Amino acid sequence: MKDTVLLITGASSGIGRAMAFAFGREGAKIVICARKADALEQVRQELQQAHIEVLALTADVSVEADVKRLIEQTIAHFGQLNILINNAGISMRSMLIDTDPAVIQKVMDVNFMGTVYATRYALPHIMKTKGSIVGISSIAGFRGLPVRSGYSASKFAMNGFLEALRTELLHSGVHVLTACPGFTASNIRFAALGADGQVVGETMRDEGSMMTAEECADHILRAVKNRRRDLILTTQGKFTIWLNKWAPALMDKLVYNTLAKEKNSPLKRSDK
């Protein structure tokens, strides 16, 4: 990764922050992007203290002009771009019947259109370096999750987009990776939107039992180095995708019953 220029969206916390350190320790020059300037500045300082070359740029990936400027500033500063990691994302947690459609629109704008904007404007530069485009997707992009319909839709869209792009670029030398972490300890659940679009502010799951953001980042680093096509993490995630393919009706019941056990779940427990 020495002298490789890497841009990570949504890098002010969680997996994005962990990837900045993982790739930076390998010698990559890191561009971190997020909406919250104060949190982004904190990560920038931490990376500098670790002797990682870093450029911090504030941008909202759901705003096309912001993303275009982000890519332009990256090229102006470093002169090239080798790897784009589309990591910025938000979640939502509510039953569809209670959800304002504007909430799903916002989730799609960040998770899907943010990936489209960043990839589109980064692509000419990555084609020059024959680099990598990475999408941090989710198991929810393979198996729809109740109470997270908008989030699942955004990740299904991302997966289809990256698959189509990979095929378009088959003979270009550009590598496209779809990475699905599964349930990973991260702040994305704490920042999930409720039915009215307000941040819920709590997680429904036991964060302590999940893969850490740092472990996830190390897996993604290796996948980029090896130019893998797909990365499915956690045993639960692999099992979910496999069983959903061969026994989808059974998975409907298993997923329902599993998520019904979450804290304050609106789903009815079948064991009561």
Catalytic annotation, pick one of 117, 121, 151, 256: 151
Please confirm, yes or no, whether 151 is among the known catalytic residues. yes
Q: Are 55 and 32 in contact, with CB atoms under 8 Å apart?
A: yes
Integer-rounded Cα radius of gyration of the chain: 18
**Coil/strand/helix, residue 199:** strand
Give, in degrees to the nearest 5, the angle at Cα 248 between 240 and 237. Answer: 5
- Phi and psi of 9, rounded to 5°? -85, 150
- Classify residue 175 as exposed, middle or buried by CB count within 10 Å of its CB (0-12, 13-18, 19+): buried
Give, in degrees to the nearest 5, the angle at Cα 199 between 193 and 204. Answer: 70
Please list the active-site residues: 151
